[in-house]
Amino acid sequence: MTSQTSKVHDNKQELDEKSVIDYAVPRRLELSAHEAGLMPSLKSRLAETRFPGELKSAGWSYGIDTNTVKMLTHEWLHNYDWEKELDKLNRDYDHWTCRINGLDIHYVRHDPWATQVQDPATGEKVEGPYASKTAINDKGEIIMPLLLIHGWPGSWYEFGKTIELLKKRGRFQIIVPSLPGFGWSQAPTEKKFGIRSMAKTLHELMQHLGYKHYLAQGGDWGAIITRTIATLYPEHCLAIHINMLPCLPPRPWTRPFQFAKAITGFLLPEAVYTKNPREKASINGLKLYAREEGAYFFLQATKPQTLGHALHDSPVGLLSWLGEKYLSWADLDPFKPETWPFSKTELLNQIMIYRSTESITSSIRIYYEAYHNRDVEWMLRRPVPESVPVGVGVWNKELFMVPKAWADDWMNIVSWHEFSKGGHFAAFERPVEFEKEISEFFTRDGIIDLFTAKRRGLKI
């Protein structure tokens, strides 16, 4: 081989090495549908929908009513513009992706305090992929990394309006991931990727981005994952806020009186919780969920692939399944869409995220893995470490909520606020109220002091 040939070979090898993508390095992501030509095919399917009959005056007692599905299908077919909505999602939010725990994880990020680095190709300064050590904003206020975690049938978009409000407040470095198997995050390809694996992945994401210490908030599965993160990584996740609270009764060996009250109150809530209507409503809500609402949980926890075939193929099947959850779990009158706390377009955006990314089947596997790995049981039987302060927002129509006395035995609750309106999707339904609640909790003096001490390397 001549020296000239060798030089060309070396240059080619150098270019090949540079062209190899390091998927661990955070990189910008433009959201797009997985299927080329999605909308013409979708509109054709919507136009050919066959709707079932229903019983007269059945209302929603048998599930989502046909008139509501027809109305939303008409909206989807004739008035909804996915390309326009997708452009807005790309324009209004900074989307990133990187490989964590073997999966490409999508996340929305807002961190104006991040260190700027030089783009090797253009030489211009761009926002760096890792967190800076800047600790204060322009007003001299402490800034802290905040991880927001969605559940099912939610997505990162559930926090869209909250992200905008948090940006204006200027107190948080914001990370909002899509859970593995949801939206634009890669789905696990092996069994047993449950709640603890989700928690590990999101914790490693925060560490990878340079946020050694952080705060976390979640509802639905996001609340369960948030509690799991706090339990597994209390030296890093310094405070949490949740707006759903499945919890066991107090332990008889730690709080015998409260244990006895809890058992009696579960059997006879009308007699025990006479002075607190919210506690009585929580117990009755748990019973109602078990009796009338929870069948979907066991279907998704046992036969997700069977259900997935129907939901993946049929757009109106997907609309019906997800729409029924949004419209029955939120605090609203499903027969009065003009009064809904989110618009029909916003609801369809949530459904289109699942449809366009073909992620409905992988998303419902979270139920199977959590159920068969006993992840929820594992979480419920482990107290959140005392060192992690907990805030709880109790919205009026939350699916899973227990009396505060139950939760006090399992976590260090320093803030508990009840709200007269709002349901299971607090961030989506009541974004102004939700943002104020979590911001005021995370900027409490005690949490800021804890965060500052940890940043300085002090042992608490």
Q: What is the mean pLDDT of each run of 10 residues along the chain (460 residues)?
A: 50 51 87 89 96 90 94 97 96 96 96 72 60 77 96 97 97 97 96 96 95 96 98 97 94 91 88 85 88 93 97 97 97 95 98 97 97 94 96 95 93 96 97 98 95 82
Say if CB 239 and CB 217 are below 8 A apart: no
pLDDT, tens only, 191-231:
999 999 999 999 999 999 999 999 999 999 999 999 999 99
| pLDDT value of position 5 | 47
Say if CB 454 and CB 213 are below 8 A apart: yes
Q: How far is CA 408 from CA 2, 220, 231, 252, 390, in A?
A: 77, 20, 15, 13, 10
Q: Angle at Cα 430 formed by Cα 186 and Cα 187, nearest 5°?
A: 5
Determine whether 368 is an active site residue.
Answer: no
| pLDDT value of position 2 | 52
| Element at 100 (helix H, strand E) | strand 95-100
Say if CB 318 and CB 351 are below 8 A apart: yes
Q: List all residues 6 or more positions away from 145 whose beta carbon is below 8 Å from its beta carbon.
A: 131, 172, 173, 175, 206, 211, 213, 214, 215
| pLDDT value of position 8 | 43
| pLDDT value of position 385 | 97
Q: Exactly one of 211, 326, 367, 368 is catalytic; name it.
A: 367
Q: What DSSP character marks residue 59?
A: T
Residue burial 200-209, b: 16+ Cβ < 10 Å; e: rest: bbbbebbebb
Q: Exactly one of 110, 213, 241, 424 is catalytic; name it.
A: 424
Q: How far is CA 147 from CA 93, 109, 237, in A?
A: 15, 10, 9
Sign of the CA dihedral with 310 first, then 314, 317, and 323 last: positive
Q: Exactly one of 111, 220, 331, 375 is catalytic; name it.
A: 220
Please count the other Cβ atoms lying within 10 Å of the Cβ belonging to residue 260.
13
* pTM metric for this prediction: 0.92
CATH class of the 38-51+60-455 domain in this structure: alpha beta
Q: What DSSP character marks residue 255?
A: -
- Backbone dihedral region for residue 392 (phi beyond 0: left; psi -120 to 50: alpha; all else: beta): beta
Alpha carbon 208 to chain centroid distance? 20
Determine whether 424 is an active site residue.
Answer: yes
